Structure 1
């Protein structure tokens, strides 16, 4: 029995590999279909992410009211309230600070510093050429922006339609998750009772893993964002709120996210002094140690024993498939 099951799995793997090989030969034929598929897949993934993030709220409301439809409606309403708050208040603050940062970003202050480390770095890494090249790159992009303005409107329309798909997929998942689960159960093998139970157990484990991971990552990101904001206020780095929002969003990406989130803060610190750079790095290192040794073990516990190499492979594959959003 076990050998026949292993043989069936091996045959399925071979068939999948053959299907991929066939698709590579028929790439031009299936490219339009693949484009539509990936266009729809990204909003659905975001909708699933939001569903798992707000499902605990729906379950809590359902436990109090006993009405699943009302629980779904209130959970979706709460999401739109939070989204509206972020859109009209947080985005406004982030935009204002980002605009001030773009205007006031000046690396000449550090050039006037007599800090010995700068002279050592400048000897081996000519920072002036780097900054000049960066300015030239920005000017070139600004010139090309006016030429590509018509394409911008079509991009905005595309982004708007994808945001609408995210909202719709999230709302339907919240409303009809029981029907979706029932429909998925219909695809399971009904002939072998033992195998059917195994498939249901695998589906349950996948559901639990996604819920644990998504809610855990959001909780960890919020805790790290709060700690990062307090740390930035303590050392007195400007644009603390903007830098915290960037760090909070990037922390949703495992391993590489915290590093990416620290880079903007280091760039801002470079415009002040090297002591500020060192303070910023110390804050980042201390918070990451707190996250690794206290926050993540407490939030995740032993519920999600995923090897770091597995996560890195998934991140790299996501980058190649969906770009930055895929991370």
Structure 2
């Protein structure tokens, strides 16, 4: 009978509170939000640190993007050809400087002239496209949708007018802000090359340096965590920029072959908009379709053919070879993430949402795996063995009675 008393099953308090996974999960969430609340209470201390971080962030980001593009080349020459990193870095800097000079002297004037002409003629292009749509609406078969399309056009015109008006007002009333932005751009362009040089020179030692601060038993796991984060960010940045460059080249060739007005400027726009996954391609296609439709129906068909060829080359060859599935994200996850990030942080959320998600995913998954390995709440086999052992003891107690 004493054995029964000592081995009686856990109480409801232990089952539903102390040994319950859901309860422990809720307590962790409560602690997480409590920490956020405490940080909010001491925001006056953190604000200077945040301002300092925002000041150094632009040159760091610019240098980081260039670092991930150049670092594989520096590593290759150092590891395979035994060329000192400093020599390779200086040669790369000279090549980039030469490419920039060539772009500024050759390509930039062409693109600038087309952009200036496009901005100057855009009101006429928009009015012509609106009149074309209204002429099509005179068809008796489209009478039912005429009012809806007209209301959509009016809404777009009002929105665009209000946006331009607000932008102009802000530009005139916030001269100090404009000066600060110009100063930030100048300082970013001035300091980013120096930051990039030292990133390329000593960046490969950062993993080992940061790992030293972790406890000895965690250093291997922490080093792998930093390596996975670095691989995820580098894969995203190199993949997106490389694909964007190739897409811009394909569009530039295609648009100039078919004779599309402002073809080079629209190709550059398509390359930049590709940095926004899924949505960027179709956003960049809107002005192209408008310009092609008011040029001629044949031009519109040619544009659609160029778009189909570009999409085939990009989806069949460029993206699988360069990007692949290194991010390991389902398309639905990507789309929902972009929608949510744009709603919270706007354009910056769209640009940085995916790499931030990839980093958070790696950290959370590794932390959860570690918690599962050390927590008895997820060690189901041990719990099963303990339950079998307790049940055996209870059965032996019954036999003894």
Give the TM-score, by structure 2 length: 0.66
Say yes or no: does 1:31 pair with 2:54. Answer: no
Q: CA RMSD in A?
A: 3.6
Q: C-alpha distance in 2, partners of 1:314/1:263? A: 23
CA shift in 2, pair 1:258/1:28, >3 Å: farther
Determine the structure 2 residue equivalent to 1:231.
254
| CA positional deviation for 1:262 | 1.9
Which stretch has the larger CA shift, 282-291 or 225-234? Answer: 282-291
- Structure ID, larger Rg: 2
Alignment: residue pair count:
317
Determine the structure 1 residue equivalent to 2:91.
74
Say yes or no: does 1:305 pair with 2:333. Answer: no
Determine the structure 2 residue equivalent to 1:219.
242
* Equivalent residues of 1:47, 1:169 under 8 A apart: yes
Q: C-alpha distance in 2, partners of 1:82/1:317? A: 38
Q: Unpaired segments of 5 or more residues in structure 1?
A: 1-5
Out of 117, 120, 139, the position equivalent to 1:100 is 117
Say yes or no: does 1:284 pair with 2:307. Answer: yes
Say yes or no: does 1:162 pair with 2:162. Answer: no
Out of 197, 202, 212, the position equivalent to 2:220 is 197
Cα offsets for 1:149-197 (capped at 9, x unmatched): 454223211222233343333222112213323312222331x2xx432
Determine the structure 2 residue equivalent to 1:3.
none
Give the TM-score, by structure 1 length: 0.78
| CA positional deviation for 1:54 | 1.0
| CA positional deviation for 1:242 | 0.5
* Equivalent residues of 1:220, 1:296 under 8 A apart: yes
Q: C-alpha distance in 1, partners of 2:226/2:311? A: 33
Out of 45, 62, 67, the position equivalent to 1:46 is 62
Q: State the secondary structure of the residue aligned to 2:81.
A: helix
Out of 64, 70, 75, the position equivalent to 2:81 is 64
Q: C-alpha distance in 1, partners of 2:165/2:324? A: 49
| CA positional deviation for 1:240 | 0.7
Q: Unpaired segments of 5 or more residues in structure 2?
A: 1-20, 352-401
Cα offsets for 1:178-229 (capped at 9, x unmatched): 3323312222331x2xx43232222222222333222222222222222222
Cα offsets for 1:89-108 (capped at 9, x unmatched): 43332221111112223134
